[in-house]
Amino acid sequence: MGRPRLRHKTWVLLGECAAGAAFALLDRPRGVVLPTEWEVCSSAGLQAMRAGRLDEADQYFLRALDQASQFPDDDPRLGTSLDNLASLRKTQLRFADAEQLYRKALAVFERAGPRSERHLAVVCNDLGTVRAAQGDFNEADALIGRAIAINERVRGPDDPEVATNLRNYAAVKLALGKPGDAATAATRAAAIDERQPRH
């Protein structure tokens, strides 16, 4: 029995390399769960973005979001798709678009509840940095402060993510004219970095 044939639009979506990978997956033994189109598009989008192929990443993320829009409105996959596209828009310096997408992702992860707290913290931090770039340092302060509180609770006070949040927090506090608070946050971040294992 020959390999299953991929539809033309799937070839166009995945490209030759990804389509070749799809064929390899189809050769796996029975019982192996194949990735969904959402998973393939999300992964390919992240790889393209890391490689600096932003137009390609855009196409994959939009397709992944189209798939995720069929999921319930509290499905973390929907929040992840919105977050991925928001991060791309942020990289493209399209801050207004990034803000809207991050707010939608935030709402999804809030509806998802405790299972998505780590994702919620990431979005709070990233939306906070976008609001800072737009000049709204008060909202940035609140959002990044929320990210710190969540990460300290779910990851622990010495987690590197907390240090990342604190560095962003320090920059916002400085912009708000609070150098003492900025120094405190920066010192805490440095202390967390010092406690990380050396490789």
Token pair belonging to 174: 């400085």
pLDDT value of position 198: 80
Reading the chain (199 residues) residue by residue, the pLDDT tens digits are 443 343 333 334 444 344 434 444 444 455 545 679 999 999 999 999 999 999 999 999 999 999 999 999 999 999 999 999 999 999 999 999 999 999 999 999 999 999 999 999 999 999 999 999 999 999 999 999 999 999 999 999 999 999 999 999 999 999 999 999 999 999 999 999 999 888 6
Task: Give alpha helix (H) positions in the chain.
Answer: 8-26, 37-50, 54-68, 76-91, 95-112, 117-133, 137-154, 160-175, 179-194
Domain 73-199 matching CATH 1.25.40.10: the answer reads yes
Q: What is the pTM of this model?
A: 0.82
Q: Max CA-CA distance within the chain?
A: 71
**In which residue ranges of the chain is CATH 1.25.40.10 found?**
73-199
